[in-house]
Structure 1
Amino acid sequence: MIKRFFATLFVAFFLMGNSLPSQAHPHSWIDLETALLFDEKGQVTGLWVGWLFDDYYSAFTLEGMTPNAQGAYDQQALNQLAEQNLKNLSEYSYFTFIQADGQKADVHPVTDYKTFVENNRLWMEFTITLKEPLHPKTQKLEYAVYDPTYYVEILHAVEGDPIQLIGEGAASCGYQLKKPEPPQELSLMAAGLDKDESAGDGIGVHFAERIEISCQ
């Protein structure tokens, strides 16, 4: 049976810290894919988020679970893991922060998700639905996906098409990826943190990618 997910995502990362090759933050890595969702009116209604967890976290999470002859893991167990994972992440906005004119957008609890194992790495995807649609032609719209404590580094995948704008209303829109530029002293501080230390919830934003949306 798959290892029971812990009270919060951070606890799991902390407990696996002894097996990681580095003692500096971050301690785990996620390859990210995102897709901003548009309706036919050109309004943004939500954000699809895909996470591919690193080898270390995947191995830790899948420990004790044996794939079948076809190499597939028990889907019910994977679904239970994802449900607990998302429940814990809901306290932290699912590590997903959408802003319009500098104000955080309100979202519904996540109910749409999917998870599986690909090449021994755990994949989880979920859809965040906005309580009110956003208007990218009249509002300054941007989003970022990051761990506020920077215990986990979340960056868009370097291969494929990791950022997409989806829907009929997205035709006149584009995006710009803003790479993080953390101050040198902050990078040095993060590099010096042990696995049982935290710099608080304010450090992660400095290491986050930001996606800015523009529509004509």
Structure 2
Amino acid sequence: MKKSTLLLAGALSLAPVAAFAHPHVFIEARLEVVAGADGNIQELRNVWRFDEVFSSSVLMDFDKNTNLKLDPDELTQVGDTVRDSLVDYDYYVNMSFNGKTIKVNKPDTIHVDYKDGQLLMFFAVAPAEPMPMKGNKLSFGIYDPTLYTSVDFPTDADMVTIGDAFQGCKHEVVRPDPDEVIAENKATLTDAFFKDPTGTTMSKLFATRVDIQC
């Protein structure tokens, strides 16, 4: 596998951990939490825009016919690589139902585009089990436990809810302060986390998320 294929297979973390992490890939993201007519969470729609440096490395490695662009079949190959490789990481979705972690199903496809020198990915994932909204507390975020990739939501408007079932629900975009997280969790944030955060799940404490109470 080529270098960028390996990066796509293992990299794609959230910005607040920058004090400890050394991200090599940077993404500006949008997350849409969609409610179904039955009052359950239906899916999470993701839009990822990659930084120019990483995007150019993908272009160089996947541009088989060397025409300096990614043709439809090459874009499909990029999407398939990510779809197959991130399944074990739940596509970096951090989703909970009353505090219980909920896994996601593999998306049907990951759509990829290349515009203005940047790689774009569009995909939706569905919860692996029902998530009824009424009377429950839900939380949604995205983080890379390896801290190799920084995923940033530029504004609170980039984390939104869609669907009539959200009427009457309260939602809040939470951007944890790293210093406060450390102070509140110093008993559990061990030396092992700071030396190798990839071996823990503590990085999610620093991740931007949207909390919903219905």
Q: Secondary structure at the match of 1:86?
A: helix
1:146-157 mapped onto 2 (5 Å cutoff): 146-157=143-154
Q: 1:147 to 1:169 in 2, by over 3 A?
A: same
Distance 2:66 2:153 in 1: 28
Aligned to 1:176: 172
Distance 2:211 2:144 in 1: 19
Q: 1:141 to 1:27 in 2, by over 3 A?
A: same
Match of 2:159 among 156, 163, 166: 163
Q: 1:113 to 1:173 in 2, by over 3 A?
A: farther
**Unaligned residue ranges in structure 1 (runs of 5+):** 14-23, 187-196
Aligned to 2:46: 49
Aligned partners of 1:140 and 1:213 also within 8 Å: yes
CA deviations 1:120-175 (Å, max 9, x no partner) are: 1101111111233312222210011010121111121339x412212232333342
Q: 1:184 to 1:99 in 2, by over 3 A?
A: closer
1:61 and 2:61 aligned? no
Aligned to 1:9: 9
Aligned-pair identity in percent equals 24
1:165-204 mapped onto 2 (5 Å cutoff): 165-183=161-179, 198-202=196-200, 203-204=202-203
Q: 1:86 to 1:204 in 2, by over 3 A?
A: farther
Aligned to 1:17: none
Q: 1:184 to 1:113 in 2, by over 3 A?
A: same
Larger helix proportion of the pair:
2
Aligned to 2:73: 76
TM-score (norm 1): 0.76
Aligned to 2:31: 34
Distance 1:101 1:185 in 2: 20
Aligned to 2:187: none
Q: Secondary structure at the match of 2:5?
A: coil
CA drift at 1:115: 1.1
Match of 1:114 among 111, 114, 118: 111
Amino acid at match of 2:204: V
Distance 1:59 1:8 in 2: 13
Distance 1:162 1:207 in 2: 18
The number of residues matched between the two structures is 191
Aligned partners of 1:4 and 1:81 also within 8 Å: no
**Unaligned residue ranges in structure 2 (runs of 5+):** 13-20, 183-194
Q: Cα RMSD over matched residues?
A: 2.9
| Higher mean displacement: 115-124 or 200-209 | 200-209
Aligned partners of 1:181 and 1:206 also within 8 Å: no
TM-score (norm 2): 0.76
Amino acid at match of 2:210: I
CA drift at 1:112: 3.5
Distance 1:163 1:74 in 2: 30
